[in-house]
Amino acid sequence: MIIDTGWNQQECMDAMQTGLRELGVDITKTDFFITHLHTDHLGLVASLVTDTSTIYFNQPDAERIKAGIFLDDLIHSARLNGFPEKELQTVSHSHPGFRFRSKKQLTFHILGGDDAIIISDYAFYCVETPGHSKGHMCLYEPSKKVFVAGDHILSDITPTVTLWSDEWDPLKEYLRSLDKVYELDIELVLPGHRNTFRNPRERILELKLHHQKRLDEIISILEKGRRNAFQVASRMTWDIMYDSWDLFPVMQKWFATGEAIAHLKYLEEKGTIHKEIEEQRQVYSLN
């Protein structure tokens, strides 16, 4: 079974095929498990799947794909959140999630929490971990104490928690999912990006603290006055090698704004802040 596949891009296909050859994998005897709908995990699966393979996936993300994910909807939301018009033009032709996604329709075998996939002497249990995406799902092998984390926990980068619609509170769900995984007895984490690592509990506490600091930072930004999400993002601190917000590449501003919206939503749901529409823009203030 292959877990997550990379972008729908020739470089990813070449790397995947080289890896499969090295391992002697017979692709006709291979199933797929995709942790979540993001294109860097799901994009290539359509080019790898055979008539004899199953793609395991989760219900919420499958529904989202079925309903259609339209860049225009995201752009509309970004505009509402104060994203500058000129920079939206750049987003519309450079968003990697749309450039490298699969154009084919996929058939999924849907799994949910505690469902298991048995492969020889491995039993992988599904662990629902919504937050990074609505349906994000990890795998846990209790006897080997191995945890396949997707983008739920990463070692030296923070998984993005982002929002472009108003329909859910992803940060609340994400923090709850972190608490859930904290309870598991894990020795080795296999994440979707960068290095494998041990001791996820320490990392989980770091991630929780990171988000608490972010929330505090946003409150202190709003103490100085009402702002839209783009303005909030521009005043937050980002670990990036550009000297000022104005120098950030547009896609980085995009991801930063999505991240700011998720944190603003969390504070709004908690009753710490509220939003109003003003000149067709959402503006946030402290309560």
Q: Binding residues for Zn ion, per CB under 5 A?
A: 38, 151
Q: How far apart are CA 130 and CA 153, in angstroms?
A: 12
- DSSP secondary structure code for residue 28 in this structure: G
* Beta-sheet pairing, 116-119 with 122-128: antiparallel
Q: Where are the beta strands (DSSP E) in 122-196?
A: 122-128, 137-141, 146-150, 188-191
Smaller CB separation from Zn ion, 42 or 222? 42
Smaller CB separation from Zn ion, 38 or 214? 38
Smaller CB separation from Zn ion, 32 or 284? 32
Closest CB 128 distance from Zn ion, rounded Å = 15
Tokens of 36: 């979540």
Q: How far apart are CA 227 and CA 216, in angstroms?
A: 15
Q: How far apart are CA 172 and CA 55, in angstroms?
A: 29
Smaller CB separation from Zn ion, 38 or 227? 38
Closest CB 39 distance from Zn ion, rounded Å = 9
Q: Whose CB is nearest to Zn ion?
A: 38
Closest CB 22 distance from Zn ion, rounded Å = 26
Q: How far apart are CA 193 and CA 99, in angstroms?
A: 20
Closest CB 85 distance from Zn ion, rounded Å = 28
Smaller CB separation from Zn ion, 39 or 282? 39
Query: Residue 266 contacts by C-beta under 8 Å, 6 or more apart in sequence?
Result: 169, 171, 172, 215
Tokens of 271: 């009753």
Note whether 217 and 264 are within 8 A (CB).
no
Smaller CB separation from Zn ion, 97 or 142? 97
Closest CB 136 distance from Zn ion, rounded Å = 8
Tokens of 244: 């000022």
Name which of 106, 172, 162, 116 is nearest 142 in CA terms: 116
Closest CB 64 distance from Zn ion, rounded Å = 13
Q: How far apart are CA 36 and CA 21, in angstroms?
A: 26
Q: How far apart are CA 274 and CA 157, in angstroms?
A: 30
Smaller CB separation from Zn ion, 38 or 275? 38
Closest CB 167 distance from Zn ion, rounded Å = 18
